[in-house]
Structure 1
Amino acid sequence: MYNSLMNHIKYSHKEAIKCGILGCATFFHTEEEKEQHMQQVSHEKRNKPCKSKEIRCKYCESDKLYSTLKSLRLHMKRLHPEFSMRCSRVGCQEFFKSKSEMVAHINSWHKRGQKQRVLQCKQCEYFTRHDEHILRRHVESKHMPKTFKCDRCDAKFGSKAAVDKHFIQFHTFVNCKTCGQDVALGHKPYHGKPSVCYRCKLRFKCSGLYQSHREKCKQTLLTCKVCGKSFPVDSRLKNHVKNVHTKTMIFRCEHCDHSTHDKIHMQGHMQRKHLPKTIKCELCDKSFATESLVNIHKSAAHSFIHCAECAQEILRVHKSTHMSVKSCRRCKCKFKCQGLLEIHSNKSCQNNNYCCDICQKYFKNKADLYTHMVNNHIRVYK
């Protein structure tokens, strides 16, 4: 060991000269030997500064370099959303489309199959590296027929052990010492967490005390007599009345009937409506009174934003309409943005040619349309 070597040299070889590089445990008789040793290639490589690693994307046509793994993950999330699974190995740069591909990669490249056993479900892509009991519990909850029913409620499970666990969590109660309520064992850790009232900012030790306070807090709200707004504290109501309803200064426009309490708002009204528009936008034919209005117009009407969902370039003005939830008229599927809806309507939804006359839903073949009509619109009498 390093410490035992240092103690040996300290007591037996006091005249020995140690290497001047940190981490090297070599000793010499003279200074010349020490200098020759420190000029070796091994120490020169050790003292060189570390360079940042350059990571290259494998799926882009134009090869792009990234300095960190985090920037590569953001790039894959925005431009390659189909590769949603990344390798769970720390420092690995591989991405996959499904869990099964990731498991095969781990077993072949990282040798997880030899050092640590991988247990995979035979009916789905679920896998675990822990005990077989976890895999058995997954099979019971997802794939086995739920024939065991709870005596207290209508819940059904795949095994008797799952029923016993459900009974312990949701049908065995413990008395809370702070609020005196009976709480199920499954909800006990959430019930005991401290909570804060979002109106009056009071803190409570458990959720039972917070629920009882919440009903009283609704009744003690203070309302403004002029506009009807409610406030939890008297000081906020006074500030509201002082700032909104007791302003005596009114700024009136000289050219029109516009009036306001704010001076800055009146200046913006004059710039937009009545001042001569001499400054012209370079990208379009619109003109404005000041350069600040031109910059606002450019950032709103001529700047593009990259959508993280569909990887399209959209204008900043159309961001709210593009990112709202859209639904297909034919199959009623919902999408997070307009780009995903257009991709769906151009590719997959064109194959649905059979329409229901009652609810206007589309189906791929006549069999699906017939089962839909029998289950939803036609009453079958035995």
Structure 2
Amino acid sequence: MVADNTIFLMMAHSGEKPFHCELCDTSFSEEDSLNKHMKTHSRPKTLQCKLCDAAFPRRADLKKHKRVHTGERPFQCEVCDTSFSEKGCLNRHMRIHTGEKPFHCELCGAAFSRKGHLSRHERIHTGEKPYQCVLCGAAFSEKGTLNQHMNFHTGEKPFQCGLCDAAFSDRSSFSRHVRSHTGEKPFQCEMCNAAFLQKGDLNQHRRIHTGEKPFQCGLCDSAFSRKSILTQHMKTHTGEKPFQCELCVEAISQKDHLSDHMKIHRGDKPFQCEFCEATFSHKGNFTRHLQIHSGEKPFHCEVCNAAFTREGHFNRHMRIHTGEKPCHCELCVAAFLDSSDLKKHMVVHTKKKP
């Protein structure tokens, strides 16, 4: 019994509260206090608020509720000026200053200052998404995310920019927009000095350092660091060319390639070789030209000793080893290493020279 009392006294001095209520964020240093507290959840709610329809089992609960209407905040933080209507809210707030995180995840060891934050975190492991949209069926792990999602259906945009007329349906989009005014770039690369407005941009940038290419083409072996580049690449397989030149009949698969194409009409050749008089309208052509002077052949075959200045030539060469023929004729069963061979073959069917 003396040992038990000693343990309780130690908890009282240390502030440790290992007994947590599963129905709210309240914690206790003694199990008996937790048991008494649990009864408050099961008691009949006979005490009615005169200002609204809320009802409570205890007079103390009703007293705390009345502060919602009066705005009274009698519990003040001694470290900062923040005040609260409930002592429990003050206790939770104090963990910001003390750094205390009593709620621990059993699966990864992450620690949190509030039980609600732990519950949200645990859904990362379980995949649980208890908050479902009644209009489209989308499910979310947090109620706040569902509330913001509903704004897309209602058209409501409660997040208004104070510097321009822009308005947003969710807080994250609003925060990103505000940075466009302030110039703030809070997401910094730890490998170089690059900084970014959005975390997603930082994640994409990191792939430059890691070489990671998570977006794989399902039709060939090409892989890319960005989904947008994969989308552009897929047009090489589908033949889609949505961008039409207004000055000739040329159709282009990518918008930036159309900009490059327009230089042909304007005669722009801004890229000048330092070793000869050659000029180029495209930076890619200029870079490849420089390899003639340097003799650089960065693309090496691992099967034989062949090396190439261009990645396209390297890819074509590798098909000799693999036997892959990705360019198929739609009119017969013939297949070829590259599109130029396919075009030559099409003369057989069309009788027109390419």
Alignment TM-score, normalising by the size of structure 2: 0.23
**Structure with greater contact order relative to length (CA < 8 Å, sep ≥ 6):** 1
